[in-house]
């Protein structure tokens, strides 16, 4: 949610930003909010003026009674009572206007950074840089589900019976490899001085509304029937929600945390679920990172964070690239975002394995997360980045470490988590 001062003082900037995001249907909202805000401030001023008049009149009653002017005092009492009724009506109107303004403000997209390329959708995202040589071996690499099946590591038939489409059983060395990647990612972030955290896996609706847009919520979140709780789609949501309503001492900044969680997603939309494999599923595990910092430090942290993910994948012998998200591909709360994509030698193209975003003060403004500085309180900037999501990282690792005989080389950084094992072999 942007600061309403932007609409008061520079609504053309807000409208131009909406156009850059190709959401022209939202343009009338800016003028509606401006008119409602004028009405709200006028109502508030009337209330303040009337309250001051009521207080001054109330103070006069005692003086009149002491002077024996009982009749005049009774008239003033009647006036004070009338003012009280008017104040109640103004208060209700003020509260109603404030609610409507907030609801409309929450649909206005955040102001994107000047460096964000303008484009309509993800087809217009821009490659920035590649890391590692994208190689294609001189032998065929099977589909990832077939690789895992050959290693006795996947059972989707059983998960279909227990849970339906979009779930899976990982088993044996493949399950161990998945855990090894997450453990390595966790320890890597701890070495970068990020505090490790296991957060709640369910959050209330006020936190959901604070961390994401309505459209994202409808497409992603599972609601717990009969309770004000949602299963998290990423631990970023509960991690940012941890600071809801808090005023943080400036000397405690930046706050840098890394969190493990299972993630639950509807995966509603054109992409659909992965029928045979584990690329797009309802449930996976993820190591995440978040940062809360001063506004002037957010871009520096943004660039640090996505580079951490690049280094983790390169340490697992996986070539990756950074892809800058264009304006039309940014969720409404985001100021700037990039995807990290891993090389698929089977498909001979890159695919998304993580995303890094800075959201400015949008989440902090919605959730009331502020810092106490020398010149008063201010809203913090929040950032998040995927350290490693187990299913997609597993696909990338398997394809880039696949041998012609069907075995998988285990990257050196993962071997301590695999009991020193260097390779996963097909069992005869």
Tens of pLDDT, residue by residue over 364-374, are 999 999 999 98
Nearest to 362 by CA among 382, 345, 386: 382
Q: Are 183 and 414 in contact (CB under 8 A)?
A: no
**What percent of the chain stands above pLDDT 70?**
95
pLDDT at 112: 97
Mean pLDDT of all residues in 319-327: 98
Mean pLDDT of all residues in 225-247: 96
Mean pLDDT of all residues in 15-20: 97
* Nearest-angstrom CA–CA distance, 86 and 215: 39
273 confidence band (pLDDT: 50, 70, 90): low
Contacts of 422 (CB under 8 A, 6+ apart): 409, 410, 415
Least-confidence region, from 221-235, 270-284, 352-366: 270-284
Query: Across the chain, what does the average pLDDT equal?
Result: 93
pLDDT at 350: 97
pLDDT at 380 over 80: yes
* Nearest-angstrom CA–CA distance, 116 and 232: 28
Q: What does pTM read for this prediction?
A: 0.90
Q: What is the pLDDT of residues 51-92, one digit of tens each?
A: 877 777 776 766 666 767 777 766 767 777 787 888 888 889
Q: What is the pLDDT of residues 114-173, one digit of tens each?
A: 999 999 999 999 999 999 999 999 999 999 999 999 999 999 999 999 999 999 999 999
Q: What is the pLDDT of residues 334-350, one digit of tens each?
A: 999 999 999 999 999 99
Mean pLDDT of all residues in 293-311: 98
pLDDT at 216 over 80: no
pLDDT at 394 over 90: yes
Q: What is the pLDDT of residues 96-117, one digit of tens each?
A: 999 999 999 999 999 999 999 9
Q: What's 4-105's CATH class?
A: mainly alpha
Q: What is the pLDDT of residues 28-43, one digit of tens each?
A: 999 999 999 999 999 9
pLDDT at 268: 62
Domain residue ranges in the chain: 4-105, 122-424
pLDDT at 78: 76
pLDDT at 217: 75
pLDDT at 269 over 60: no
47 confidence band (pLDDT: 50, 70, 90): confident
pLDDT at 214 over 80: no
User: What is the fold, at CATH topology level, of the domain defined by 122-424?
Assistant: BirA Bifunctional Protein; domain 2 (3.30.930)
Mean pLDDT of all residues in 298-304: 98
């Amino acid at each position: 949610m942007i600061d309403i001062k932007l609409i008061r003082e520079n609504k053309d900037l807000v409208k131009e930003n909406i156009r850059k995001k190709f959401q022209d249907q939202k343009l009338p909202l800016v003028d509606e909010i401006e008119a409602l805000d004028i009405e709200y401030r006028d109502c508030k001023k009337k209330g303040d003026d009337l309250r001051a008049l009521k207080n001054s009149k109330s103070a006069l009653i005692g003086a009149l009674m002491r002077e024996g002017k009982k009749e005049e005092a009774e008239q003033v009492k009647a006036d004070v009572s009338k003012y009280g009724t008017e104040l109640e009506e103004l208060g209700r109107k003020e509260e109603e206007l404030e609610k409507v303004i907030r609801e409309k403000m929450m649909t206005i997209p955040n102001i994107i950074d000047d460096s964000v390329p303008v484009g309509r959708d993800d087809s217009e995202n821009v490659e920035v840089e590649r890391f590692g040589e994208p190689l294609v071996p001189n032998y065929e690499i099977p589909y990832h589900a077939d690789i895992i099946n050959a290693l006795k590591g996947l059972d989707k038939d059983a998960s279909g019976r227990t849970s339906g489409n979009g779930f899976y059983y990982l088993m044996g060395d493949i399950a161990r490899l998945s855990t090894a990647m997450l453990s390595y990612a966790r320890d890597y972030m701890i070495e970068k001085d990020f505090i490790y955290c296991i957060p709640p896996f369910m959050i209330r609706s006020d936190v959901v509304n604070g961390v994401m847009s309505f459209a994202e919520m409808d497409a992603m979140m599972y609601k717990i029937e009969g309770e004000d709780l949602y299963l998290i789609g990423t631990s970023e949501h509960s991690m940012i929600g941890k600071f809801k309503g808090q005023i943080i001492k400036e000397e405690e900044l930046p706050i840098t945390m890394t969190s493990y969680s299972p993630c639950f997603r509807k995966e509603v939309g054109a992409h659909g679920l992965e029928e045979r494999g584990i690329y797009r599923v309802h449930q996976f595990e993820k190591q995440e990172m978040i940062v809360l910092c001063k506004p002037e430090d957010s871009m520096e942290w943004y660039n640090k964070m996505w580079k951490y993910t690049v280094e983790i994948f390169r340490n697992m012998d996986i070539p990756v690239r950074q892809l800058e998200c264009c304006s039309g591909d940014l969720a409404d709360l985001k100021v700037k975002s990039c995807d990290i994509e891993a090389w698929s030698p089977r498909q001979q193209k890159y695919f998304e394995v993580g995303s890094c975003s800075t959201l400015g003060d949008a989440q902090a403004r919605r959730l009331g997360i502020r810092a106490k500085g020398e010149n008063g309180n201010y809203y913090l900037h929040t950032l998040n980045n995927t350290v490693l999501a187990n299913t997609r990282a597993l696909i990338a690792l398997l394809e880039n470490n696949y041998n012609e005989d069907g075995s998988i080389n285990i990257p050196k950084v993962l071997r301590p988590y695999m009991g020193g094992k260097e390779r996963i072999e097909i069992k005869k």
